[in-house]
Structure 1
């Protein structure tokens, strides 16, 4: 997994994003993701790719007994400790692929906008299943396959700059996709919908919810949001360990 988030210029631009400044209330998917969470009171929660720690502090405020936030980026972890510190939260610089995943340790595992940087997503599913307690919940938000299969992950524009259509190519060929994000060249990993959903089912999970993120009614009032309704950007999944 590449670590663009420790690039100084990239991190400065990331800090300007609404979700970086204002937390979950400014995250366009939160109105759909929040209802997927089970009760966290007294539970152990693992956050894979925790970023600034917004989901960690949410879990702590919901009464979670223990929360561990992992992120490959040292800058992200430093920011999480500054912004979202609480007694039951531990932050650790650690990649999603490097974590040891102790068996039957966590009641809930969450990952928000991190798994599209992982090449072997099925291995992550196997590890998450192992580390969840029986009856545990895995909730994640990943860039939608139609988005990651986009050519350059950008619109085709008219000469006047108006978005014309969203191109998709090589959808059935998973793997690395190079794009330009926040002023940096970024490598993401494209996974098909079959890979994601069957990867969960083949590794023992039961699917409890699958949603494609749409802007909330509040966000739809903002200028330019009509274009956001023309192509899916995120896929939200809730899976359970039997």
Structure 2
């Protein structure tokens, strides 16, 4: 199933008003940890799976990547990415992550930020990424943490005064489709355990170099108060892998 919620006008407009959509990478609670997992990008050929507004593509070029290809299924996201980009070394293509079919060893680094939990067959994507990476190439990805995706409600358990008491976890081992509610819209996500993410990568020929379950920085918590609760449970899972 290939979703394209971001081309639905109302959903896109609400997403565009989110802090991370306005402030970019600096407003993303996991960016400091994601950046720390990235390899040296100088003179590298980079592929961004689910590039959205192109923030990571432009960052790669700031780090002197030789070339960047960003793919996304949403034409609205790509239109803004192109509008905000003035760099001939960045190419944006409209393409579903599941449909990538690049030549062998086309890229040195593949990244994906908060897109792969929308993809049903993570294992197939891993094999395709392995194919298009050079030997020793890096695959760095972030997804919503399985503790966050286990229950379709994706919400806190509240007390009588509306206080956030705890984050419920249930059906963790029951992998598959979750009909969630995000920005007042029904959105399909796919829940996988941490083990499934790791095993899919290793069985596709990757070695895991690091896992990260980051918290927002103190500075970001001060700027965006609602992020303070993100220290109570992991919202993101980040994985850095290397092609064997």
> What does residue range 157-176 of structure 1 map to in structure 2 within 5 Å?
157-176=158-177
Deviations 1:118-138 (A, max 9, x none): 111000111111110011000
Q: What is the TM-score normalised by the length of structure 1?
A: 0.97
Structure 2: which 5+ runs fail to align?
none
Moved more, 58-67 or 115-124: 58-67
> What does residue range 8-157 of structure 1 map to in structure 2 within 5 Å?
8-157=9-158
Q: What is the TM-score normalised by the length of structure 2?
A: 0.96
The count of aligned residue pairs is 242
Structure 1: which 5+ runs fail to align?
none
CA contact (8 A) 2:156 2:168 kept: yes
Deviations 1:23-49 (A, max 9, x none): 111111111111111111111000000
Structure 1 residue 220, shift from structure 2 partner: 2.9
Structure 1 residue 151, shift from structure 2 partner: 4.3
Structure-2 separation of matches of 1:22 and 1:85: 19
Moved more, 209-218 or 224-233: 224-233
Moved over 6 A (4+): none
Structure-1 separation of matches of 2:169 and 2:23: 32
Structure-2 separation of matches of 1:162 and 1:41: 47
CA contact (8 A) 2:72 2:95 kept: yes
Cα RMSD, aligned residues only: 1.1
